[in-house]
Structures are given as structure tokens and as C-alpha cells.
Structure 1
Amino acid sequence: MSHRFRWLAVACAGALAVALLLIGSLLGTPPSPRDGSGGSAGTEGDEAAEVAVGAYLHYGSPGVERMQELSRWLGGAELRAGHTYLPGDTWANIEGAPDSLRTWARWRNERADRLFVLNVPMQERNEAGVPDDRVAELIRSGAQGANDHHFRLLARRLVDLGVPDTVIVLGWEMNGFNYTHRCRPDPENWKAYWRRIVAAMRTVEGQRFRFDYAPNRGSDAIAWTSCYPGDDVVDVVGMDSYDQEPGRTFDEQVTQPYGLQQQVDFAKAHGKRISYPEWGLFRHGDNPEYVRGMLAWFAEHGPLYHSITDYCPHGVWQCGQNPRSTQVFRESLSAG
């Protein structure tokens, strides 16, 4: 999902869904996350914890305020996953320059059981339409260590802000066609570059980061398994899964090649937790069956966290154009 569309969230903020819905019972939540101690995130020992529920509501400080408002709308349900993005326009922003990180860090540290989830681009000019041959050059340069200092600086900033256990969604949707941090132009060096970044960030004293490998659902430009950089540098196997092709129905999204079932199976084979940093409505309008299917999937498979993208056209709270989906979401996740 293009980051430039996320920046339009402000424009949609006034279109809050009307309060016409009944509050239902809390969706049963199976096992989930680790304690944030870092290292490879396996499945053993996690059975007693709840899935961390979150929403992407705004890239900056207003996103924190809206988390509180969304919680009230859900009858006081606790939203434990705070999710935002670093802009990929300049290296300064990828290094953690945005002031909003301070606000997110304060939110994270208000409760010990919260997760701060941060999408981190691997290249500047990340949405500039950079051609494949230039992307391949940038990947090779990164694999040789040209950008290590940028990521060490980001790691130091996060530790200094008091969020050393941040979940880093690094180079998200790398199997797609658009981002400058895409994998397809040079998969082998892309994997080496990911490894360099993780190694650089792990050198910072006090860090306990978890690195989340989160492709698009489906094969897209390249099979996401072809870009997997190794179990020693991946802690969580995520997936961004919107209501769009490939897979017209939710069942097809589960069973398609490189779909939801393959993600779960792959993660289990590699001893990793799963996550869903982005999900939501997209191509098919108001689709309550998709929302119901995703929530049931989370309940069955117990991801570390899931975070719905909530602004038009994806949303169920800040966007009033999906009332049936809104009802399913609210009834399922409201506090009883």
C-alpha cells in the first residue's frame, strides 16, 4: 500500500463513521506475543498472551490521539499495537527525524504490554518511481554497507527515546513493483542488504528490536519466499493483506499461492510468529464477509499483532462509506 496514500489520512479524519451500531462481545483471542526481549520470535511460551490489536490512523502525532478515540468507540477495548511509518523521502527522515516519534514513544511506555510497530524504508526516494536498473544499483550499494550509518542512527534514536523493543517492519511489501526498496531487481543482494541493516541496528547497545518481514499477499512482482533473508535476521513473518486481487473471495485469499495459508505454514516451518501490519477494505467496497473472515483468521492463528488501515477507502471508523463492515468490526472487537 503506497505511503503517499497514508499521508491523505488527515483529509479523511472528519468523516468519522456515525454511531449507529450495537456493541457486541470481544472476539476471542488466542496466543500471542513475546515479552519484547529481542532475538528470534518463536511460538513456544506465548500461549497465554493476547493478540495485540491496533490500527493505522495517522502517520504523525494525531495517530496517538485517535488511538484513544477509537478505543472509546470500541467501548474501552484496549488497543495495544501502535503503528506508524517513517517517511521514505530523505535519509534524514529514515534516520528517525520526525518529532512524532517522541509522541509514539510516550504512548508505548504508558503500558508495559504495548507494542510500537514502525515501518522503516530501506531507501530514500522510496516512492519516486525509480527504474529497476537504478534500484539494482542502490540495492548492491546497500549490501556493501553504504547505508549502515543511517540505520545505526535510527537504532540509537529509538533506544534513546525509550523504545528499544520496537517492532521494525523493514522494507515492507518488498515483493511489489513500486517501492525503491523492492526486491525484484536483485533478490540476492536485497537479502544481503536486509542482513546489513539488521546487523547495523543490532550493534546499538540496549536494543531489543524485532524485525518483521512483511510482503504483500500473493506473488505480486516476485514470490516473497525468494526474498526471505534468513531466520537469524527475521523475528516475525508478516503480511499486508487488503481486500483486493489476487483472490476475489476471502477463501481464495487464504488458499492462493503465497497467500494467507502459505504465510502461516512458512512461519511455522521457520519457527516464527506471524503478524498483519496492514489489512483493510480496498477494491470491493463495503465487504463485511472479508472483515469477518480476517477477524476469524486472527482468532484462529494468533498473530503477534494486527493493524487495520483506517482511512478512506479502507476504513471502518474514520470512513463512513463502509457501514456493514463497520458493524462487523465494532461488534467483534468492542469490550464487553
Structure 2
Amino acid sequence: MRFGRLTLAAAALLLITTASVPSGTPLSQTERHDAVLSSDAIQPRGAAPRPVVQRAKHEVPFGAFVGSWDNYIPNIARMATWLGNANMQVGHTYLAGNGWQDIEGENVVLGLWSQWRQGDPSRKLVLGVPMLVPNEGNVPDAEVARLLARGNKGEFDQHFLKLARKLVALGGGDTVVTLGWEMNGVTYTSRCKPDPTAWKAYWRRIVGVMRSVPGQHFQFDFAPNRGLDAVPWTRCYPGDDVVDIIGMDSYDQPAGGTFDEYVSEPYGLQDQVEFAAKRGKPVSYPEWGLFRNGDNPEFVRRMVEWMRTHDTAYQTLTDYCPHGFWQCDRNPRSSSVFKQLMAGSPGAAAGTGSAQAAGR
């Protein structure tokens, strides 16, 4: 949920290496939910059998989005100190999506984030990668569909190939890539609704291109918004062979919503963990935080509990106003609860956990 927060900080340096929702009579959310889940070989909620999704309470690799460019990296250590020297193992950043040069990655920025990652074997680098540009340009659906068609012809392959080569050369070959995040929404050009079939094929193509680079061990995280949004995220799922983690961005919205509703709503948290369990994949929460209900400590408590009792590869709080707790002073009660829950967290042991097991 990034609203124009990424702009190019500097010119790029020399390269290191050369089926939409059917129209007609509207269905209720529940009816659409059951129909789509059934079409994707998932039982509607309440039908048997249902997979086991809960785990004993455990520590999850965690971090926060504290800023995209390399000069924000020290904020990770500062926030960790604020949390009683907690082991913040996850660094989360994004590529700007203003033009294709952005998708290839800026050398210094990627290099310093990769250097941070290599400073501790238990750390993870999570990188948001747009699929199309301009990613926040209010591009109409018809143009998105045309861009997806061009992508499936290979017109944009070179940019993802350069990014993959650069990450490997810089020591970031095990980066977690949230490719086309929040694809079920309307905010980004890298969205699914204009042509789900083409979107899925394009995701598969990009993954194939990036996995072709020797030395890569990328993990690809499919991370929609929680809930129905503009299109059911199950219609966008590109296939088990090209997805390693099934993520979800989860903010406390809509206004007046309860955490139990966020769990049980169509395409909500329960559907996510069951969908993932049936595929033998972990879940993640690349973006989460407050949004529509003010200072909401109950959401914070329940969200952390949820992540610690499910097969969670990692989680990263969005830490700026109105969402966060360290860089934002609007949420003092939530900040206190988050600090109480996370202070001194040792994180997950190096070389263990679902995210490592999920890598291909």
C-alpha cells in the first residue's frame, strides 16, 4: 500500500552485468467466494476436509518497512534498539516503478541492502518488484491489458534479467521477491483485474526469466491485499511451480471492522492459510499495520498472535503514519502493545523456518 512514496533518488549507475470477473447479475461476496474457491479446487469454507493450519506459538522472522533507499538501512538497527535489542531479521524495500530503468535496480541501493542481508545469515531481504511501469501512474484498464500482452511477448524480459543478474552479483541471490504485490487491487499498474489470464502468464514468464540466472535462489511471494478487493486473488494465482510463499497485505480496514471479520471474510486470513496449507507453502505478511480505525491495540495484539501461530515465513510492519508505531506518534496505545509483544524477540534461528524450506 504505497501511495507515491517511491521516487528515484539518483540516476542509475553503469550495469554490473551486460480472465476477468464475469459481468451480469451481481453475486454476494459469499456466493462469489464459494464459486471461485470451488473453481480453483478449494473447498468452500465449512466443507471437509480442511487442512491443519495452526502451529504451536513460535517466533517469526520480522522487520519493518522503514524506507526504501540505502540511507534508511540504519533505521533497522535504531528500531531494534527501541524494541529492546530485538533481532529484526527482515529488511523490506521496494523498487521504484517510474520507468524500466527502475525495475533493473539502482546499483548502490541494491548493493547496500544486499550487504545488510549478508551481515547475518538469519536475515532476509524482501524486495517489492513492479511488473509494469509506470506502476503508480493511474493507467486505465485497457492500457494495462495491452501492457500485459506486450509482456507476454517478451518485450520486457531484459529488465527482469538485468535485475536478477545484478542481485546475484551483489550477493542478493536469495532475495524474497514480492512481485506485483497487491495485484487484486486497483492502486498499481501491475494489477490483475484487467486480464487475469494474461497476468498469470506474465508472472510465470518473469519468474522463468529471473530463475534462469545462475546462482539465484530467489523466493517468489504472491502477496495480494486481504479480502475481495477488485478481483478475487484466487483468480490471479499463477501456479504452485512459480510461487514459493503465499503472502497477504493486511491492514485494519474497512472502518469498524473486527479482527474476527478479517479472519473469516471471503479471501481473508483463514482462506489464505488454508490455500497455502493445501499447497504445502508458508504464508507471509509483507505489509501490515493500522489504517482505518485509529489507534487500535487489539488489532496489533491479534495480528501478532495470528502470525506466531501459523506457518509464517516472515512479517514486516509498515512503519510510517498512519500505519506504524516507531516512526509514527499517532498510535501510542498500539505502539505500547507492539513494543510489549516484540521487545527482545530473538527472531527465528538461522537456517530454520518455512521461508528457507520453501526455496526452490
Fold match by TM threshold 0.5:
yes
2:168 alignment counterpart? 159
Q: Which residue of 1 aligns with 2:42?
A: none
Task: Tell me what 1:150 maps to.
Answer: 159
RCO higher in structure (CA 8 A, sep ≥6): 1
Q: Which has the larger radius of gyration?
A: 2
Counterpart code for 1:2: R
* Equivalent of residue 114 in structure 1, options 101, 108, 123: 123
Q: Distance in 2 between matches of 1:130 and 1:299?
A: 38
8 Å CA contact 1:86–1:98 kept in 2: the answer is: no
Partner of 1:75: 84
| Aligned-partner residue type, residue 276 of structure 2 | A
Contact 1:247 1:253 in 2 (8 A): no
Contact map agreement 1:195 1:233 (CA 8 A) in 2: yes
> How far apart, in 1, do the equivalents of 2:206 and 2:191 lie?
15
1:324: Cα distance to partner? 0.3
1:62 aligned to 62, 66, 71, which one?
Answer: 71
- Equivalenced residue count is 299
Counterpart of 1:52 (choices 37, 61, 65) is 61
TM-score, length basis structure 2? 0.80
Contact 2:84 2:344 in 1 (8 A): yes
Deviation at 1:100, TM superposition (A): 1.6
Q: Does 1:126 align with 2:135?
A: yes
After superposition, where does 1:1-336 map in structure 2 within 5 Å? Answer: 1-5=1-5, 50-97=59-106, 99-245=108-254, 248-335=257-344
Q: Secondary structure at the match of 2:303?
A: helix
One-letter amino acid of the structure 2 residue matched with residue 183 of structure 1: C
Identity among equivalent positions (%) equals 54
Q: Is the 8 A contact 1:247 1:256 kept in 2?
A: no
Shift of 1:305: 0.3
Match of 2:40? Answer: none
Unaligned runs of 5+ in 2: 8-51, 346-360
> Quick one: which amino acid aligns to residue 130 of structure 1?
V
**Corresponding letter in the other structure for 2:205:** R
Alignment partners' CA distance in 2, 1:220 and 1:155: 31
Could you tell which deviates more after superposition, 163-172 or 295-304? Answer: 295-304
CA deviations on 1:98-125 (whole Å, 9 max, x unpaired) are: 5221211111000111100000000110
For the 8 Å contact 1:6–1:58, the answer to whether it is kept is: no
**Residues in 2 aligned to 1:192 and 1:202: alpha-carbon distance in whole angstroms:** 15
Aligned partners of 2:58 and 2:309 also within 8 Å: no
| Aligned amino acid, residue 335 of structure 2 | T
Shift, 1:51, TM fit: 1.6
Q: Distance in 2 between matches of 1:249 and 1:65?
A: 35
State TM-score, norm by structure 1.
0.86
Taking a change above 3 Å as real, the CA distance of residues 133 and 54 of structure 1, as seen in their structure-2 partners, is same
Partner amino acid for 1:163? Answer: G
